């Protein structure tokens, strides 16, 4: 039997995450949402800035993710910054919990997307970068850009 094409539509990304953290592992998690949240996500009205995830009572929760109220919603619209439960396998939750407790990792949401009609969030285990790490990354990126520019000019 042929495997279905996995259509992925990215809703929003946390661009600050890779700048501020060394991302070690990534996991794909489902989200427990209410109806108006799904409709607002389909409109692309979400923001991951300053959001984070935490493990509590063997469950993972996403905090401070902003999903704007649905434009055609009524009085039953959702709270934009409510805490949302993430759906992961128990083994993954235990691995994440162990790393966050022992080694100083934090759980950072990287992007939100729809995969085969289901809302998913990609979370990463990240360790915070120091200021000198960020400067080093900028320097490497600038050097790489300069080398590519020089190669392009040479081949003309």
> What does the pLDDT read at residue 103?
80
> What does the pLDDT read at residue 57?
92
Quote the CA–CA distance of 77 and 17 in Å, as a whole number. Answer: 29
> What does the pLDDT read at residue 125?
93
Residue labelled with tokens 């700048």: 19
Beta strands in 3-65 (DSSP E): 8-13, 21-31, 46-47, 52-56, 59-63
| Domain boundaries, given as residue ranges, for the chain | 9-128
Report, as an integer, the average pLDDT of 140-151. Answer: 93
Residue 38 corresponds to which tokens in the numbers above?
A: 């799904």
Report, as an integer, the average pLDDT of 24-35. Answer: 91
10 Å CB burial of residue 62 (0-12, 13-18, 19+) is: buried
> What does the pLDDT read at residue 87?
95
Reported pTM: 0.80
Nearest to 77 by CA among 49, 35, 31, 118: 35
> What does the pLDDT read at residue 4?
59
Sign of CA dihedral 39, 57, 111, 15: positive
Quote the CA–CA distance of 119 and 111 in Å, as a whole number. Answer: 11
> What does the pLDDT read at residue 3?
56
Give the count of alpha carbons within 13 A of 82, CB side only: 15
10 Å CB burial of residue 126 (0-12, 13-18, 19+) is: buried
Q: Which CATH superfamily is domain 9-128 in?
A: Small protein B (2.40.280.10)
Q: CA-CA-CA-CA torsion for 20, 56, 113, 88, nearest 10 degrees?
A: 120
């Amino acid at each position: 039997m042929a495997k279905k094409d996995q259509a992925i539509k990215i809703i929003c990304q946390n661009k600050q995450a890779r700048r501020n953290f060394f991302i070690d592992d990534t996991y794909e998690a489902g989200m427990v949402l209410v109806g108006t949240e799904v409709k607002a996500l389909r409109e692309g009205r979400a923001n991951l800035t300053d959001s984070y995830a935490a493990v509590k009572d063997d469950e993972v929760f996403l905090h401070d993710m902003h999903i704007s109220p649905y434009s055609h919603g009524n009085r039953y619209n959702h709270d934009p910054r409510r805490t949302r439960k993430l759906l992961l396998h128990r083994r993954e939750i235990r691995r994440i919990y162990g790393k966050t407790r022992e080694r100083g990792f934090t759980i950072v949401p990287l992007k939100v997307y729809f995969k085969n009609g289901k809302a998913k969030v990609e979370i990463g285990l990240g360790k915070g970068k120091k200021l000198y790490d960020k400067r080093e990354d900028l320097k490497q990126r600038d050097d790489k850009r300069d080398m590519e520019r020089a190669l392009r000019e040479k081949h003309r």
